[in-house]
Structure 1
């Protein structure tokens, strides 16, 4: 089985990296060789923190994922902002990203790709994370928040994925407002979606 899953979210700090870790462990337990790819990481001072953390995890789960951090995180920017802003004069090369993805696929059965921020984070003036998911021909894994306001963010993000005809699943990261989630947000979400998936259950 060859599988590419692109992890995005309803916003920044919703738990994409945490979700990637859960997915990597989930598929490794099922006997698949796992891999990880984060095309962009911003806020990089000495080295990409998220990318390095996930690469170290992957190497414990799949020792044959014999690649470097620069393979896993090819675009590293210092400014903690959307890639469009953080990149300065750098031009984002989609073909280069596709080549990196193809290279990493050689070492794994399941490649978990982590986006930057939410679906509509800009990479170029007219190119967004959601467009990259489509160009990389991935299934999207949307991470949504359990906090107050999460219903709106979840529905808007799902609407955007449907409008682009992108296959997706979504998982709720039960960490913000988790004590009030059952009372405040879950009643509508359960009625609307019937079945809810939580990251913590992976």
Structure 2
């Protein structure tokens, strides 16, 4: 049984698209521990994957589309990582984080802390744009320096071979795949990307 925590170098790295592809590739369940705002990522996943995939209820749903720590304060919720526990399943499981690595849950904890709490490997989604080398390398440095288990990197959107070469050479992390630039996101385009993921 495989379990992975999908995180990104920023909020728009493509975690949900990557998660949908991984759910289909591994025939896995899906779970979003913290959802802030609507529409929910669980609903997006549900619309993109096979109908027999299990989408577990979110750990917590916050109304405001903002950082979990701020959204929780608006609702007078004292949100703590230890309030969240992985749903029971004997299947593979894809867990999707919220925002980037260091999005705060509260004044002391970050979303990425959940990967260590759940004892699962992280998959880092990197999207190619000007500045993405810096954001990707800082994310990798944080993960390594803080003892997180990292399965590898998925590159998303517009290909940039030189950027990807540098990141992989310097980080020594495996490339788990490349998601092509999608003009539309549908179940068919998700299926078309399965061959590009090596996991």
Same-fold call, TM cutoff 0.5:
yes
The aligned counterpart of 1:31 is none
CA RMSD in angstroms comes to 2.2
For the 8 Å contact 1:22–1:199, the answer to whether it is kept is: no
For the 8 Å contact 1:144–1:170, the answer to whether it is kept is: no
- Partners of 1:81 and 1:16 lie apart in 2 by 16
The aligned counterpart of 1:188 is 166
- Is 1:72 aligned to 2:57, yes or no? yes
Give deviations 1:121-178, integer Å, cap 9, x for gaps. Answer: 00010000121211111110111121121111111111111112111133343314x3
Counterparts in 2 of 1:16 and 1:195: CA distance versus 1, 3 Å: closer
- Partners of 2:169 and 2:96 lie apart in 1 by 30
How far 1:194 moved relative to its partner? 8.3
Query: Which ranges in structure 1 are unaligned for 5 or more consecutive residues?
Result: 29-33
Aligned pair partner of 1:52 in 43, 68, 77: 43
For the 8 Å contact 1:55–1:72, the answer to whether it is kept is: no
Runs of 4+ in 1 over 4 A off after TM superposition: 56-59
For the 8 Å contact 1:35–1:58, the answer to whether it is kept is: no
- Partners of 1:74 and 1:4 lie apart in 2 by 16
The aligned counterpart of 1:199 is 178
The aligned counterpart of 1:114 is 96
Q: What's the TM-score once normalised by structure 1's chain length?
A: 0.78
Query: Which ranges in structure 2 are unaligned for 5 or more consecutive residues?
Result: 180-195
Give deviations 1:88-117, integer Å, cap 9, x for gaps. Answer: 21122434311xx1xx332x4211100000
Query: 1:122 aligns to what SS in structure 2?
Result: coil
Counterparts in 2 of 1:51 and 1:194: CA distance versus 1, 3 Å: closer
The aligned counterpart of 1:147 is 129
Q: What's the TM-score once normalised by structure 2's chain length?
A: 0.79
For the 8 Å contact 2:143–2:150, the answer to whether it is kept is: yes
- Is 1:90 aligned to 2:84, yes or no? no
Give deviations 1:22-44, integer Å, cap 9, x for gaps. Answer: 1111112xxxxx21110111122
- Partners of 1:195 and 1:120 lie apart in 2 by 22
How far 1:195 moved relative to its partner? 5.6
How far 1:58 moved relative to its partner? 5.5
